[in-house]
C-alpha cells in the first residue's frame, strides 16, 4: 500500500492523483506512449508484438497533478503457454481498481483484437478514454472522422483522442483529458520517483529489448533475462546477466558466429544502461537453455514473473 506523500505547500484540494492503465492489443504502442508521456525511456518497445510481459508503473508529476501510468502487456486470447496466460493476467489485473483506462487503438482502423480489449475494459467497469495512436501513419487525415464515428458506437468512451506517441503529436491534449478526470487527492509518490521497479528489473528489460530487436521472428518470445549481479562502482558499473532460451538451436543463434550476436546485444544494452544509470557500464552476457520454460509456471516464477504481483501491487 503506497501512503500519500505530503508535499510542501501542496493542498490536497488542489492536487490531483490517480492510477491510469494503458490497455490495448499487442503492438498498438502502449509502451511507446508511456515513455513519451514521461519524457524518458522506462518501458521496452519493439516492432514485435508481446514485448511487454509485466505491468510497469511510470509516474508523471507535473504541476499539481500526479499520473501513475500502468503500462500493461497486450491483451490477447491467451489459450497457449503459461507465459501468455501470465501476460494477459497482468494486463487484466491492472484494470481492476485504476481510476481511468486508456484504450489504445491504431488509426488504421478497428481490429478484431480491439474487441477483446474493449470487453475486458467493460468487465472491469472502468472509465475509459480511447487513444487513437499512430496518426502519423495516416496519409489521409480525413479517414479519422469515420473511425471516430465507429469508435463512439463501440463503447461509451469518455473521450476520443487521436495522437502519435512516436512523433509526440497531441500528447498534451491527451494529458489534459487525463488530468481533468483524476480525483482530487494528495500525491502517492515523491516528485522524483518515476517507477516502483528495481534497477535490476529495468536493466534486465533493456537486455531483453536488445535481444528481441536483434533476434529473428520466433526467438524473442522464448527469451527471458535474469540479472545476476549489478555493481555500481566508479568509474564503471558492472552488469552480469543471463539470457535464457528454450532450445540448443536457439542458444547457437543468440550467441552467433564467434559470439558476434551476443556481442551486439551486449553493446546495444550497454548504451541504454549507461543512459539509465548515468555512468559507464560493462555488460557481460551469457546464454543458457532452460527447456520450454515459457510453458512451465515454476520457471516463470524463477525468472521473476510472479503472478501475485499485479500492476497496482504498489498501491
Ligand atoms: N508510426 C508509429 N509507430 C508507433 C507509434 N507508437 C508506437 N509505434 C511503434 O509500434 C511498435 C510497437 O510499439 P510498442 O510501444 O512496443 O507497443 P505495445 O503496445 O507496448 O506492444 P506490446 O508490449 O507488445 O503489447 C513499435 O515499433 C513502435 O515504434 C506511433 O505513434 N507511430
Ligand atoms: Mg509494451
Residue 137 CA, closest ligand 1 atom number: 1
C-alpha cell at 8: 510542501
Rounded to whole angstroms, what are the CA distances from 125 to 99, 111, 117, 183, 258? 10, 21, 12, 17, 54
The sign one gets for the Cα dihedral 43, 44, 49, 53 is negative
d(CA 137, CA 120): 27
Residue 10 CA to ligand 2 center (angstroms) comes to 33
pLDDT digits (tens, 9 = 90+) for 26-73: 999 999 999 999 999 999 999 999 999 999 999 999 989 999 999 999
d(CA 143, CA 156): 21
d(CA 57, CA 55): 7
**Residue 162 in contact with ligand 1 by CB distance below 6 A:** no
Where in the chain is CATH 3.30.300.20? 199-307
- Of residues 168, 215, 175, the one with CA closest to residue 51: 215
Among the residue ranges 7-11, 27-31, 108-112, 258-262, the one predicted with the least confidence is 7-11
Cis upstream peptide for 235 (omega within 30°): yes
Residue nearest to atom 16 of ligand 1 (CA): 45
Among the residue ranges 1-5, 107-111, 169-173, 222-226, the one predicted with the least confidence is 1-5
- Whether residue 207 has pLDDT greater than 60: yes
State pTM to two decimals: 0.94
Residue 133 CA, closest ligand 1 atom number: 31
d(CA 57, CA 181): 19
Number of H helices, E strands in the chain: 9, 9
C-alpha cell at 3: 501512503
Ligand nearest to the CA of 25: 1
d(CA 229, CA 227): 6
The sign one gets for the Cα dihedral 289, 270, 48, 177 is positive
- Whether residue 11 has pLDDT greater than 90: no
Contact 40, 194 (CB under 8 A): yes
- Of residues 118, 80, 95, the one with CA closest to residue 22: 95
Which alpha helices (DSSP H) does 158-236 contain, by range?
A: 171-179, 199-214
Mutate to test the pocket of ligand 1, among 26, 34, 45 (most ligand atoms within 8 A of CB): 45
Mean pLDDT, range 203-225, rounded to an integer: 91
d(CA 302, CA 132): 37
| CATH class label, 16-179 | alpha beta
- Whether residue 80 has pLDDT greater than 90: no
Where in the chain is CATH 3.40.50.300? 16-179
Q: What integer pLDDT is reported at residue 63 of this predicted model?
A: 87
The sign one gets for the Cα dihedral 4, 56, 24, 46 is positive
- Whether residue 290 has pLDDT greater than 60: yes
**Residue 294 in contact with ligand 1 by CB distance below 6 A:** no
Edge-to-edge order in the sheet of strand 236-245: 224-231, 236-245, 280-289
**Residue 23 in contact with ligand 1 by CB distance below 6 A:** no
d(CA 22, CA 194): 16
- Of residues 121, 83, 107, 219, the one with CA closest to residue 160: 107
Ligand nearest to the CA of 30: 1
Residue 143 CA to ligand 2 center (angstroms) comes to 26
pLDDT above 70 coverage of the chain, percent:
93
Q: What integer pLDDT is reported at residue 67 of this predicted model?
A: 98
Residue 22 CA to ligand 2 center (angstroms) comes to 9
Contact 197, 34 (CB under 8 A): no
Residue 35 CA, closest ligand 1 atom number: 15
**Under 8 Å CB-to-CB from 223, ≥6 apart: which residues?**
208, 211, 212, 215, 243, 244, 245, 254
Residue 49 CA to ligand 2 center (angstroms) comes to 8
pLDDT tier for residue 314 given thresholds of 50, 70 and 90? very low
Residue 132 CA to ligand 2 center (angstroms) comes to 16
Beta strands in 177-301 (DSSP E): 224-231, 236-245, 280-289
**Residue 47 in contact with ligand 1 by CB distance below 6 A:** yes
The backbone torsions φ and ψ at residue 97, rounded to the nearest 5 degrees and listed phi first, read: 90, -5
Residue 44 CA to ligand 2 center (angstroms) comes to 7
**Residue 84 in contact with ligand 1 by CB distance below 6 A:** no
**Residue 90 in contact with ligand 1 by CB distance below 6 A:** no
The CATH number of the domain covering residues in 199-307: 3.30.300.20
Amino acid at each position: 500500500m503506497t501512503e500519500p506523500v505530503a508535499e510542501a505547500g501542496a493542498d490536497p484540494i488542489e492536487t490531483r492523483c490517480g492510477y491510469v492503465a494503458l490497455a490495448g492489443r499487442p503492438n498498438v504502442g502502449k509502451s511507446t506512449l508511456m515513455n513519451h508521456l514521461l519524457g524518458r525511456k522506462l518501458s521496452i518497445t519493439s516492432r514485435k508484438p508481446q514485448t511487454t510481459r509485466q505491468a510497469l508503473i511510470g509516474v508523471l508529476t507535473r504541476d499539481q497533478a500526479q499520473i501513475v501510468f500502468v503500462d500493461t502487456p497486450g491483451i490477447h486470447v491467451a489459450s497457449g503457454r503459461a507465459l501468455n496466460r501470465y501476460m494477459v493476467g497482468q494486463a487484466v489485473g491492472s484494470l481492476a481498481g485504476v481510476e481511468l483506462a486508456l484504450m489504445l487503438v491504431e488509426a488504421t482502423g478497428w481490429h478484431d483484437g480491439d474487441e477483446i480489449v474493449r470487453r475486458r475494459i467493460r468487465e472491469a467497469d472502468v472509465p475509459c478514454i480511447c487513444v487513437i495512436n499512430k496518426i502519423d501513419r495516416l496519409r489521409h487525415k480525413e479517414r479519422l472522422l469515420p473511425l471516430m464515428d465507429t469508435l463512439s458506437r463501440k463503447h461509451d468512451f469518455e473521450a476520443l483522442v487521436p495522437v502519435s506517441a512516436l512523433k509526440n503529436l497531441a500528447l498534451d491534449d491527451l494529458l489534459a483529458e487525463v488530468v481533468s478526470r483524476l480525483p482530487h487527492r494528495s500525491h502517492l509518490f515523491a516528485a522524483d520517483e518515476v517507477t516502483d521497479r528495481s534497477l535490476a528489473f529495468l536493466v534486465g528489460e533493456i537486455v531483453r529489448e536488445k535481444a528481441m530487436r536483434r533476434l529473428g521472428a520466433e526467438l524473442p518470445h522464448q527469451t527471458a533475462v535474469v540479472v545476476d549481479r549489478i555493481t555500481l562502482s566508479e568509474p564503471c558499473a558492472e552488469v552480469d546477466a543471463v539470457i535464457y532460451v528454450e532450445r540448443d538451436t536457439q542458444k547457437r543463434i543468440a550467441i552467433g558466429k564467434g559470439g558476434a550476436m551476443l556481442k551486439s546485444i551486449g553493446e546495444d544494452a550497454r548504451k541504454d544502461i549507461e543512459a539509465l544509470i548515468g555512468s559507464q557500464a560493462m555488460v557481460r552476457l551469457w546464454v543458457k537453455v532452460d527447456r520450454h520454460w515459457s510453458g512451465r509456471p515454476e520457471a516463470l516464477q524463477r525468472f521473476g514473473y510472479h503472478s501475485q504481483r499485479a500492476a497496482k501491487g504498489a498501491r
